[in-house]
Every structure is written in C-alpha cells, then in structure tokens.
Chain A
Amino acid sequence: MPQSLLRVRGLRTEFRSPRGSWFPVVNGVDLRLAAGETLAVVGESGCGKSMLAYSIMRLVPRPLGRPAGGEVLLGGRDLVQLSEREMRAVRGRDVSMIFQEPMTSLNPLMPVGEQVSESIREHESCTSSEAARRALELLDLVGIPEPAKRFGQYPHHLSGGMRQRVMIAIALACRPKVLIADEPTTALDVTIQAQVLALLDRLKREMGMGIILITHDLGVVAEWAQRVMVMYAGRKVEEASAEEFFRGPAHPYSRALLASVPSPELVLADGDHELTEIAGTVPPLDRLPQGCAFAGRCPRVQDGCREEQPALRPFGSEGRMVACLRADSPQTGEIGR
C-alpha cells in the first residue's frame, strides 16, 4: 500500500438532538488516503458522508454539532489539535473542498477570474497581477475555453459545467494535497458529469493529489474510484478496493446499494440482476437501535445482529474491512477465502 497522505482515526462528530442530548453523526470513522488515489465515500442521504467531510475540514456547523474526538493526520500534523487560525491556513492550501451546487457556490457579484485570484491571494502573498496571471492559467488548466474572455465574466454568464470548472479552479488554486469533492457532479447533466470527473482525474494525476469523492452514484464510483468506503448511520461498514467491491460487496447494505442501481455494467457476480429498493429508511441517528444499525432493514439479519454493534474487521484481502457478523457466509463464492 502506498504511503498515506491523509489518515483519519476514530473521528467522531456529534449533533444535539431536540431533546438536548448528543448523538453521533460520524461515529469512529477511520480512513486513509494515498497520493494519487480517489477514495469514494458512498451511502444513502443522511448516513454521514457530508458530515465526515465537514469533520475533516473542521466545518461542522455550530452550535448544532460538535467534534467529539479522533484525529486527522495530514503531513505530520493532527488537524483536530490546530487552532482555528492554523486550521484556516490549512483549508484551501492543504485540504480543499468543492461543493455540490455550482449554481450557488460562486459569488454572483464578482467576476469569476477575480474569485479565483482571490483564493490564491488568501494563502500566498503575491501581487494582484501575479494572482490574476495564475488565475488565468488555472482557468485554462480546468479546460475553460477562452479563459481571458471568461475571466471578467460573472457566474450568470457561465453554464453549470463551466461554473463547476471554476469551482475546481478555485479549490485547486493553491495545489492542495487533498481535495474533498462533495457530490461534485450531482447537479450537472450526465455528459458534463463525465467531463468534470475526467478533469478531476487528470488533475489528480498531474498534481499528485488525493481525492475523497463523496457520492451516491455508484456508476461514478465504478468508473473513477480506486477504493470505496461505505457508510451507514455514521459508521464505516465496509471498505474495499473498487474492483473487489463491485466484484462482491461483503456487507448486506453494500449489496443492497448495488442491487438498487439500474445499470447493466453493475450486475452482481452471482447474477442477481433484479433491481431492488432497500426497504425502509436510515433510522434516525438519535434513536439508533441496539446492535447493528442496519439490522432492521437487513435481509440476512440473525439473532446476534441486534445485540451488539459488529466491529469493523479485516476481511479477505489486504486493506479490506467489513462490519457485519454474517459477512463470513459466502455470498459470491470467492469471499471468505
């Protein structure tokens, strides 16, 4: 396994329930990200994907939420321990983030080129003409045609795909080591999606970044990610290389997610073609049942599942993890060694 760029250990973030007690929305998550790697974080809405991203960036909304332990190691430093001022210097320079909605993620009253140079000047002392020159290069780098013309235009002049490219230019302005992309293409139409993801992939390789790609689109995962991490109810329930994941997901939740995707390429190895929805919804995080959080919806539930939370354990090949009591039972013939 290559040297890891970012290591997250036991990260925990809590929210306050209406009744005033605190409950975890990110519950002891570990992850590692290597340079040049794309780690996809998948799961349904409300399973803690975005909160994981915000927790790494230390952008958990207060006073609704609070950090509650864990460490985020980047370049030998634990981001959790940094002061707010030090953390501000890390954001954008070492870790950057792009958001889902390119329509609202740009300031409507500022020319896009200025927004790019603004983010350069935030972290590096350079003259405004130097920043403008680099902003122009960045716009060119992210594949915006006629960057000099686009530079002075406002966001409403640009299409959604162009805006997302500008967002990427802003996020990459200071060549961050880690880019967190929170559903970067959900708001874009399919052909533009592919272009934007190809762009991210190219820039990742050119700059040697690591990308954490948060998505619920398994098609995107299959195409662009090297590793997959499945989250459910704030916990990591499975981690695998993308290849193994699509060959045979170990956790029943992962299987259910895959089975609910209407894509011909994503047929399960055991020939289970049928498109099925996952019955029920994610249980409210402030009233999680005892035991495995997925037990209530799991087709393979057994008695032990409701007693205690199954621990995440190594499973099969190197680096593969699963948190399920029943993952031993062969599901695809090749699992379980």
Chain B
Amino acid sequence: MSDGRTRAWRRFLRNPGAMLGALILAGVVALAAAAPFLYPEGPFEMVGRPYAPPLSEFLLGSDMLGRDIAAGIAHGARISLLVGCVATLVIVLLGTLIGSLAGYFGGRVDSALMRVTEFFQTIPSFIGAIVLVAILQPSLASVIGAIAIVSWAPLARLVRGEVISVRNREYVQSCVALGMGDARIILVQILPNVISTVVVAASLMVATAILFESGLSFLGLGDPNIMTWGFMIGAGRAAMRTAWWMVTIPGIAILLTVLAINLVGDGLNEALNPRLKQL
C-alpha cells in the first residue's frame, strides 16, 4: 500500500469527529444487521398495548396500533442504509460515467451531455422525486430510482471538472502519445486520480439519499409494505401531542445516522484532500 494511502488512513483515524461518526454509523449498521434476530416477528406485528411510553412495556414504547417502536427503528435502519447505499451507487455510476465522458472527450460530446445535466439540475430535486415516485408507483426500487435520477447531475459536473483538469496533465497526454486507447486512459489513468473526490461526494450523498427517502415515506410515498423511519414519523404525527416518542425516536434515528455519515464524509474529505495529500 502506498504511503499516501496509509497517511490518509492515519489522518482519518486521528480525526475525533470522523471517529465519532464512524462509531455511530457502526452502531446503526450493527442494529440493521441484528434486526431479524432481535425482532424476528417484524416491525408491523402488533405486540402489545398501544401508546405505551418508552421504558415501560417496551424499551422505546409502542405506537397507536401497539407496534414496538424499537422493532421499527431496527428494521427501518435496514431500509435507510439500503436506500442510501444503493441510490448512491447508482448516482456514482451514472455521474462518473457521464462526467468522465463529457470531461474526456470535450467539444460536442461535452456540450450535449452538459445540457442534459443542466436540464436535470434545474428540476427542484425533492419535488422531482415526489413526482417520479407518484408516477412509478411507490416501491423500494422506484424510491431508489427517483432519488438517483434527481441527484446524479451535480456529481456528473464535479467529475467532469476533475476529469478535465487531469486530462490536460502531461502524463495523460503522453499516454495518448504512446497510443493508449480512450477507454483505457479514462479507466486506468484518469479515474484513479478522481476517485478521492468521488468518494467524499458519495459519502455525503448517502446522507442526502437517506433524508430523501425519509421525506418521501413521511409523505406516504414510500413502499407501503416496508417499515421506514420516515413512515413512522408520518404515522405518529397525528399523536404528536399525546405520544411524543412516536415521532421523536425515529427523528433522532434519522438525525444520528445522517450526522454520523456527514462526520465520516468530512473526515474522508480531510484525509483525502489532494492539497493535504502532497505534504
């Protein structure tokens, strides 16, 4: 492993914010992984008295139908992480593909792809996602697809900018002079130099995707057969004054997860920042 990479790791490990974020995130991942064992009956099962406050019958109380909120949080973590990661993966693939083609080939290819990108950037993203999910019918796949479609454009622009700057460096020019093919130059020579920027942007995008998903399911546009944090908040909203925990606990879950991911993202940014990397 290169010095640069080990140094980046060390910087990340020494960053208290990033470590806190990583710790919380690890907790969320563990909870998501353990959900089927901790609550094998599933989050929709009515297991006890409705409106039970936290630390009484259930650890985190129950909702108005007597469903265990802790079970909802654990199972909801699976969905949040799944949506966050899969949507981000799609965004990264799409954004990197379009950005690198536009940046590498320039000229007309660039103009055409950037006009398309700008078209997507002009759509207010959350409203765009609502419309898409409404048209496609709410399901896990349509939610992920909608989030990806409204979010890839900024990443494509970011990648394009980075690719243009790397493309004009001499070592890329000398690869052209040595007869290397376009695809090979993009994959082997350019993308590794762009990847740290993409990693940082993508880590923050996971958090945004989780927020989007929560917002959509809060509005009732989530998959109706899946328990999510947003859905719990939406359902508990009616009883907010009498049973605060029904909205507060899933809200805290979202807050902590998004915060943790942002902390990790910032830590990665500092660790991989190309300006610091040269030191």
Which residues does A use to contact B, with CB under 8 Å? 57, 59, 62-63, 87-93, 96-101, 104-110, 118-119, 122-123, 154, 167, 170-171, 173
Contacts and interface: CB of A to CB of B under 8 A. Distances in A.
Interface in B1-49: 2-4
Contact of B177 (A89, A92, A173): A92
A105 B171 contact: yes
Contacts of B181: 88, 122
Contacts of B179: 87-93, 122-123
Contacts of A110: 188-189, 192
B135 interface: no
Interface in B173-196: 173-181, 184, 188-189, 192-193
Give chain B's interface residue range (CB within 8 Å of chain A).
20 to 34
B170 A92 contact: no
B124 interface: no
A63 B174 contact: no
Interface of B: 2-4, 107, 169-171, 173-181, 184, 188-189, 192-193
Nearest to B178: A92
Given A62-B107, A107-B189, A99 B173 contact: yes
A108 B193 contact: yes
30 contacts: A59-B173, A62-B107, A87-B179, A88-B181, A89-B179, A91-B176, A91-B177, A92-B180, A96-B177, A97-B174, A97-B178, A98-B174, A99-B173, A99-B174, A99-B177, A104-B171, A105-B170, A105-B173, A105-B174, A106-B171, A107-B171, A108-B193, A109-B4, A109-B193, A119-B180, A122-B178, A122-B180, A154-B2, A167-B174, A170-B174
B170 A101 contact: yes
* B interface secondary structure, majority: helix
B2 to A, nearest CB: 6
Given A105-B171, A107-B171, 16 more contacts: A63-B107, A88-B179, A88-B181, A91-B177, A92-B177, A92-B180, A96-B178, A97-B177, A99-B170, A104-B171, A107-B189, A109-B4, A109-B193, A118-B180, A119-B180, A122-B180
A296 to B, nearest CB: 34
Nearest to B277: A108
Contacts of B2: 109, 154
Contacts of B189: 107, 110
Contacts of A59: 173, 176-177
A41 B188 CA distance: 34
A63 B193 CA distance: 26
Contacts of A101: 170
Contacts of B3: 154
A162 to B, nearest CB: 15
Contacts of B192: 107, 109-110
B193 A107 contact: yes
Contact of A119 (B4, B107, B178, B193): B178
Given A109-B192, A109-B193, A104 B178 contact: no
Nearest to B176: A59
A118 B177 contact: no
Contact of B169 (A57, A90, A104, A122): A104
A75 to B, nearest CB: 15
Contacts of A123: 179
A171 B173 CA distance: 13
Contacts of A62: 107
A76 B173 CA distance: 27
A192 B40 CA distance: 72
